[in-house]
Amino acid sequence: MPKPKSVMPAQGAGGVIKPGLTLRPGSLASRIVKHRVIYLLLLPGLLFFLLFKIAPMWGLLLAFKDYNPFLGFAESEWAGFKHFAELFSSSNFYIMLRNTFAINMIALIFHFPLPILLALMLNEIRHESFKRLNQSIVYLPHFLSWVVVASMTFFLLSTDVGIVNKLIAESGRDTVSFLSNPNYFWGLLTAQSMWKEAGWGTIIFLAAMAGVDPQRYEAAVVDGAGRFRQIWHITLPAIRPTIIILLILRLGSMADTGFEQILLMMNPLVRSVAEVFDTYSYTHGILQGKISVGVTVGMFKGLVGLVLIVAADKIVKRLGYEGIY
């Protein structure tokens, strides 16, 4: 006959055994008691997500109500899918959809690979002091607010005081309306994001490269491999899982754009290519007081992101790689 499973007494704070209580080995309660210090370290992060990520989700119900702040949530009338129908039937919906995905696709093509290339370059620097100096330099733009970045762009590219246009005028050519020409707007946003965030994005890739066994590089040198072949056959395969995970997460935010950046760079002349879901939610939900409309837009963006993440994860797994879940 099988032996009965042993039980262990539960311990209280300070390791004091509480009489009369037993815990089954391998159960969640026994693991919590055994590793209580680790779970205590986990508690602040868990509370953060509970309070600021999960608890506010009840507010999504506002998308199905005609919310009136004077009546409150309970007294406001239910509207069903009225706000979703208004969003999808809006004359600006397809313009916002086009602009949002176009901006994100350009960023995905040009911005996403840049931190990888920059991390590979930084990883090849052998002088540690010089390497840390370069890392600090490329990290600095991340700590500038979008207000500062937009102001710098204005002083560089505006037709009145822009340094670039002054140089163009001194060369005898006509000035270029960089900030008011719709043809330049998407490229300008991408260039700003690349300059500001590319250095910060190298942190994860450099951490992944630090985990590569140095003996693999030594063996490659013995076999006659140069630096480029070492990068191609050792470094890139080592960081491939990190690249795939970040790519999936990036695809999940395809319906999301940099609200502050676009709001600061937008003007009436480029509104046709600058109007996105974030600015629509701001103008209708905040400025016009239609809170339910703003929540509806946010819920739509979240659903689009969820579908894209699930689809991208399934595609990655079919290709033979590990996904995010």
Task: Judge if 43 and 133 occupy the same domain.
Answer: no
The domain of 19 spans 8-57
Task: Judge if 24 and 86 occupy the same domain.
Answer: no
pTM of the model: 0.82
Task: Judge if 227 and 190 occupy the same domain.
Answer: yes
β-pair type (77-78, 65-66) = antiparallel
DSSP 55: G
Q: Answer yes or no: is 75 within a domain.
A: no
In this structure, what are the phi and psi dihedrals at residue 20, rounded to the nearest 5 degrees? 90, -10
Query: Is 179 within 8 Å of 265 (Cβ atoms)?
Result: yes
Q: How many domains does the chain have?
A: 2
Task: Judge if 192 and 298 occupy the same domain.
Answer: yes
In the chain, beta strands by DSSP E? 8-11, 17-23, 65-66, 77-78
Angstrom distance (rounded) from CA 240 to CA 246 = 10
Q: Domain of 145: which CATH number? A: 1.10.3720.10
Q: Answer yes or no: is 74 within a domain.
A: no
Chain position carrying tokens 């300070």: 14
pLDDT of residue 21: 56
Q: Answer yes or no: is 295 within a domain.
A: yes
In this structure, what are the phi and psi dihedrals at residue 23, rounded to the nearest 5 degrees? -120, 135
Q: Answer yes or no: is 69 within a domain.
A: no
pLDDT digits 0-9 by tens, 59-99: 889 999 998 888 888 888 999 899 999 999 988 899 999 99
**Rg (alpha carbons) of the chain, rounded to whole number:** 27
pLDDT digits 0-9 by tens, 113-172: 999 999 999 998 888 899 899 999 999 999 999 999 999 999 999 988 899 999 999 988
Task: Judge if 21 and 147 occupy the same domain.
Answer: no
Q: Give kind and range of the element (H or E) at residue 128.
A: helix 128-139
